[in-house]
Structures are given as structure tokens and as C-alpha cells.
Structure 1
Amino acid sequence: MLPSQRHLFEIPPDICYLNSASSGALPRTTLDAGRAAVGRKGQPWTLGAGFDSRQYERARAAAARLINADAGDIALIPSISYGVATAAKVLTVPRGTRVIVLENDHSSPVLEWHARAEAQGFVIETVRQPADGDWTSAVLAAIERSGAPPVGLASISSVHWSDGGLIDVDKVQAALRRHGAMFVIDATHGAGVVAMDVKQLDPDAVIFPTYKWLIGPYGRAFLYMAKRHHNGVPLEQTAAGRRNVNSENPVYFGDLGYVDNARRYDMGERDYYISLEMASIGMEMMADWGAAAVVERLAMLTQRIADGVRDLGVSVLDRRLRAPHILSLGMAGGISKDLIAQLAAENIHVALRLGRMRISPHVFNDEADADRFIAVLAKQLRG
């Protein structure tokens, strides 16, 4: 089993950080790279020819590796909402169809479709958060709902941020394909941890950021766009997205068509080399460990906690329904903010999400962290 990687992070021994679903810690090498990058910005004349290009192509390749995509299928973007907005501009949802989203999903994969529904003539169907935590069955039931308008597209997270519910994207994609519908996946809580092979799955778009599970910085995200959609109009008009444009001294000549891959969807000012290298390092580390090894370690930690709190009067989603790296605890009447604060006062950091306690360890956590959390939670609940 992959051992704890705590030695690679600046996490003091008395800190029990179990909140990577909110923000992942940065490895020491990433911190060093960020400091060096800021220094380069202070002396920009030291940047050699082609430096920017090497930076964003390294990041593009690292992102592609996480989901088994080709580098040319990946666009450099700043956020999930940017990626969904790009996908919504490129993908045509047929009039009279439904767009399926999840209740209490994060706003990014949801709001863009609400903004477009009336003008484009489709309706939004929200899949209610299931009492039993079985998101996959709920989504499949919505797709197959008798008497409903046809499904045009589903825009959903692969792991629900609030309760850690795992959506079986393979089953959902198979159902959508039978209906000729498109699939946009917010893989914020999946990419790099839960294995995804886009060449096998064949979704229309997948979007993920680096600041949570990919132990990278804010403001860096990536959009996978299937090759069949490399003919769309991007969200921004940039020199980098066009053929025959000199980006150093923008002079327009000849055919100004777009480049023939997902690079056309790159954000403006993509040459953001301060954080691009930081993002690359985290993604490369995750890929080197491998999703299988990361999942094995994190599933061990979440199950250790689940077993340890069994007699404390809290509810836990069935293991087959939850993501291996997120554990959500419920209590009658909900979890109080005071309990979260009491844990934080003892240097144990978790999150309150929709009345439940979300626990999200990463590779820097160890068995001692899990046991300490159990002991302190037991003391608070029994005290």
C-alpha cells in the first residue's frame, strides 16, 4: 500500500487536516516552484525563448495523463464555470429536451444551463438528493423517466461535493448514449483519485481544477473536449486559438481559422507561468502514485474512521455508494457548527456541508490522524 506522504508536505505533526475536499495542501516542491516563479516575474528578462510554451504544454500533458486523454484534447482554463460555459457554447442542446443536473450540486455545472434554458428552449430537471445516498440510481431513473421530454444533456459532478456520493459515470453514460444525449462531467472531486479513461467512457466534456485533490493552486483548471467538438467557437477570441496570428506582435494575415484541436478553447492570458508549473507538479505527483494506489490508501483511512465512529450515534453512507476518499457523517438534527469549531480548536480540520460532517483525507494523512479524529469526536459527543 502507498505509505503516507506527509514528509512531502509542510504539515506540522499536531495538525490533523482532513479537509482536502475544500482545499488540498501544496507539496514542498510546489511551494518552492511557486516562490521561484514569483522571482522570475520580478526579473522577466531572464525568461528564455519558448519558456511560456513549455509551461503550458507541460500542464496540458499532465492533465491529459490523469484521464487518459490526448494532450490536444485539453484546454487551459481558469475555473470549472469557465469550462462549463465553454461547453455550453459549443454543445447544442436540442429544443424541447431536458438538461439533467443534481440537487445541491455545486453551482458551476448547474447555473450555466439555467441561464440558457429559456432562450434555447430546453428545460432543467433536477435530480433530488436521494435519502439512501444512491445518486447513480436516482440519475438513471431520471434519464429513463416515462412520459418526460427526451434527455438532451446531463451536466453533473462525478462525486457529489456535500455527501461524497459516487456517481457511476459509466452507467450514466451508457444510459445517455441510448437516448442520444450528451454528457458534461464536473470531475472536481474525481480527477486524479477515481480513475477515469475518457477514451473508453467517451464523454463530451470533462472539467477539473487543481486546488483540491490535485494538490495544486487556485485559478488553474482543465477542460477535456471530445474530438467531435473541436470545431466550436471558443468563449474568448485569442491569438493562440487562431491560425496565422503572430501572438508576439499580433498581425493578422491569411486564414484566421481556429487551430484544429482543443487548444482553441484555451483561456486568454494562458501564459500564467507562476502557477502553471505548480499545477503541473501536483498532477504529475498524483499520476506517478496512480489512482489505484491513492484510492487504496484513502479508502483505508475513510473506512478506518467509519468503523471507529460506528458506536457514536452517527450515520455513514454505505461504502458501495460513497467515493473512497470522502466520508460524510450525519446525526439526528444535523451536525452543529459548534462541533466543527470544537474539533478545529483541537487542530482537527473537517467541514460542515449541508448539515453533515465531511471528512476528506489525502495522501499526507496517516492512521494516527484517523485514530485521533475518532478519539476527539468521541470525547466531544460523549462529553
Structure 2
Amino acid sequence: MTHPTTNRYRDLFPEKAVAGYLNGASRAPQLKAVAAAARHALWWREAHPGMPVDKFFGDVEDIKNLFARLINCPESGRIAMTSSASYGVATVAKNLPLRKGQNVIVVEAQFPSNYYSWDVLCKEKEAELRIVKRPAADAGGTWSDRVLAAIDEHTAAVAIAHLHWADGTLYDLAAIRRRTDEVDAWLIVDATQSLGAYPFDVQKIRPDALVAGGYKWLMGPYGCGYAYLGERMDGGKPIEENWINRAGSDDFRNLVNYRSDYRALAGRYSVGEHSNFIMAPMQVAALQQVVAISPEVVQAHCAGLWAGIAPQLQELDVALKKDRAHHLVGLALPDSIDADRFAREVEARGLMLSYRGDSVRVSPNVYNVAEEMSALTAALAAASK
């Protein structure tokens, strides 16, 4: 691959971190601003042996406000700080009023973090975990149609991603929300592979809960996550009982006077030590940049990248799904392309992407340029039998 051109967004990252990197769905390359925030946090820690009270709360409020802005949530108090998507899912599972004989709906090959909690809960409650299979390529209807058909009067919840982590299939969350409303079921959305790169509006979709890991499209450090928790979660039971989630926790002098009441709304659900004095400034810097770029810009940029190689893909008989986003695309290789040779050709061209199930997962972002997509089609052509 020749030395790629640049764009205004590519310069936000070290060149060696983004050159040939078509794997944002695995982990985001580190923004320069995030690395700078980490270095400043380390310097501050070295220079200040004590921890002022405001350091426990200031960055956290900034993070919640930024995340709320990203999902068009008018109440930042509905945002909980988590350590991962699975922590958020487990929190919701603990509070779902599931009864014997009901069902929870997931889709086939869903990411494990949004599967295991439901599997355990359904077994405990003697409920059904209903798995909606992916439709065959020649079958009529969409995967969303199958999810809608699976919902019935016994459905307690639909736990689904905004788009499938392996092949990029988009689900019609608006239609699924309308159907869950009809049967009084919860809608729990794992947006780990969409938030930051694909628009989401909690006021339009109205999920009962939305969770996301923060180290992919949200550009944060590994080990951070977020959850939006709707009214059905008000007054629920958190996974852990930590000091900072209790009302009045900013009054250190009175922490010895135990309180039974929690901080408002989703404040009771945040993971312990979420004020992490190294990670929190990194999260602020990451979310500031994600909001500044905007998911709409990510989609438009990535759509242009795919449009640029559409003729070559057609010639190679590599089809793009219609019901998909542009930042995460699962390519199904035809029999005319040798998959093992393709993997070698990709590596030889300095590209990075992922293989998930039977899909070649290509996940570009605003830092990618046309030359990298051309290198992808060159690898496909070279692997053609």
C-alpha cells in the first residue's frame, strides 16, 4: 500500500496507530488527546499526594453530561458509570421482573456480554431464553422481522444490540420498541458497537436500558463503560453497595454516618471506584472528541469510503448487505476467493481487520482514507481463484 493521504481527523491520532487500521470494532486507536490526558493525570497524581473531594465527582459529572449529550438524553442523572457492557447488562438483569414461563429474546450469535446474564437469569427463573436465528441469504424478510415475530404476550424483555457485532446487521429498534410496548416488555440495547459511530436518540427509541463499553467507538480506555437507565430502573437494586453511590457521599466528614438512601436516578448503579483518577480524564477527552466529530460525520465519511470501492467489490462478487451501517461491515467471501490467501494478502498490505464467524469484519472510521480501502480490494483480487 502506498503512503496514504491524510484528512483532518487522521491527524488526531498517531499515524502508526491508524495506518491500515480497519478494525475499530475491535478497539479504537488511541487519540492523542486521550494519551495527553493520561499523562497529565499521572503528573497530577505525582504532584499531589492527597485527593480533593471535587476530584471524585468533577470529571464524573463531565463524563455523564457528555454521554447524555451523545444519546440526546435530557437527564445526565440517568447515566451510570460502569466497568463494561456486561456490568450494565448484569445490573439490568438483576432488576428485570422475570417470572416463570416468560421469555427473554436475544438474537443468534449475540455478543456474549449480552447473552450470559440472560441465560443465567432464565435458568434461575424457569423462563425461556428465546434465540432468534439469522435469516438465510435467500429467505424473505429481515432479521428484525424475525425478532418482531418472536415477541409475544409472554415476552418480558428483548435484549439486543443496535447492530450485530459480527456482520453489522442493523436492527429496527423503533419497530421493536413499538412491539415491546404492546406486550409491556422491556427493551435493553447493547450499543457498544454503535455509540459514537452511529446516531442514537433515547427520546426516540425509549429503551428501558442502554449499555455500552467505552473502548471501541467511544474512544476511551479499556475498562470503562456507560449505561442509560430508564424509569423502570428507578428505585432498583444495584449490583454492589459502594460508598460513593449513596446520597451525601460528597460529604466526607459524615461518611461514618451510614445512609440507606442512594444518589438520584441512576446514581445508585455506578461501579465502585468509577472516579478512577487516571481513566476519568481520559474518558472526558475521548467523549469530547467523539461528540465534536459526531456519529453523523462518521457515517458519512465511511459511506464515502465504501462508495469508492463499490465497483471493485461488485466485480469480485462481494456483496454488501443493505440493512447495515457503514462503520462496521461484515463481508461474506464468495467461493471464488480463497479465504486463507486473502488473510495473507491483507497482512502483506499492512491492513488490520477481524474475522468473526463466517464474516470478514471491516470497521473503518474517520481516520481511514481511500488508499486503505483500495488496498482491501487489491487483497480480495489477489486472493481470487
TM-score, normalising length from structure 2? 0.90
How many angstroms does 1:45 deviate by?
2.1
CA distance in 2, matches of 1:229, 1:75: 11
Contact (CA 8 Å) 1:340, 1:352: kept in 2 or not?
no
Deviation track 1:340-383 (CA, whole Å, cap 9, x = no partner) reads 2431232111111112211110010122222222223322336x
Deviation track 1:289-345 (CA, whole Å, cap 9, x = no partner) reads 222222111122233334431111333322xx1112122211245973552243123
CA distance in 2, matches of 1:251, 1:284: 33
Between stretches 232-241 and 246-255, larger displacement belongs to 246-255
Contact (CA 8 Å) 2:86, 2:114: kept in 1 or not?
yes
Q: Does 1:58 align with 2:58?
A: no
Contact (CA 8 Å) 2:187, 2:208: kept in 1 or not?
yes
CA distance in 2, matches of 1:13, 1:186: 27
Between stretches 181-190 and 8-17, larger displacement belongs to 8-17
CA distance in 1, matches of 2:124, 2:338: 41
TM-score, normalising length from structure 1? 0.91
CA distance in 2, matches of 1:251, 1:211: 33
Contact (CA 8 Å) 2:18, 2:367: kept in 1 or not?
no
Other-structure match for 1:172: 176
Other-structure match for 2:276: 272
Which of 68, 92, 102 is the equivalent residue of 2:107?
A: 102
Which of 240, 258, 265 is the equivalent residue of 1:261?
A: 265
Which of 120, 124, 132 is the equivalent residue of 1:127?
A: 132
Which of 357, 361, 366 is the equivalent residue of 2:364?
A: 361
Between stretches 23-32 and 364-373, larger displacement belongs to 364-373
Once the two structures are aligned, what percentage of the paired residues are identical?
A: 29
CA gap of 1:234–1:14, structure 2 versus 1, over 3 A, is closer
CA distance in 1, matches of 2:134, 2:278: 39
Q: Which runs of 4+ in 1 moved over 6 A?
A: none
Given residue 83 of structure 2, which amino acid in structure 1 is its aligned partner?
P
Q: Secondary structure of 2:131's partner?
A: strand
Other-structure match for 1:322: 324
Deviation track 1:7-29 (CA, whole Å, cap 9, x = no partner) reads 11102399211110111111111
Correspondences of 1:218-237 after superposition (within 5 Å): 218-237=222-241
CA gap of 1:49–1:150, structure 2 versus 1, over 3 A, is closer
How many angstroms does 1:43 deviate by?
3.8
Given residue 351 of structure 1, which amino acid in structure 2 is its aligned partner?
S
Q: Secondary structure of 1:240's partner?
A: helix
CA gap of 1:15–1:180, structure 2 versus 1, over 3 A, is same
Q: Secondary structure of 2:375's partner?
A: helix
Correspondences of 1:29-40 after superposition (within 5 Å): 29-40=33-44
Q: Does 1:86 align with 2:91?
A: yes
**Unaligned stretches of 5+ residues in structure 1:** none
The aligned length equals 374
What is the CA RMSD across the aligned residues, in angstroms?
2.2
Q: Secondary structure of 1:316's partner?
A: coil
CA gap of 1:374–1:91, structure 2 versus 1, over 3 A, is same
CA gap of 1:335–1:274, structure 2 versus 1, over 3 A, is farther
Other-structure match for 1:115: 120
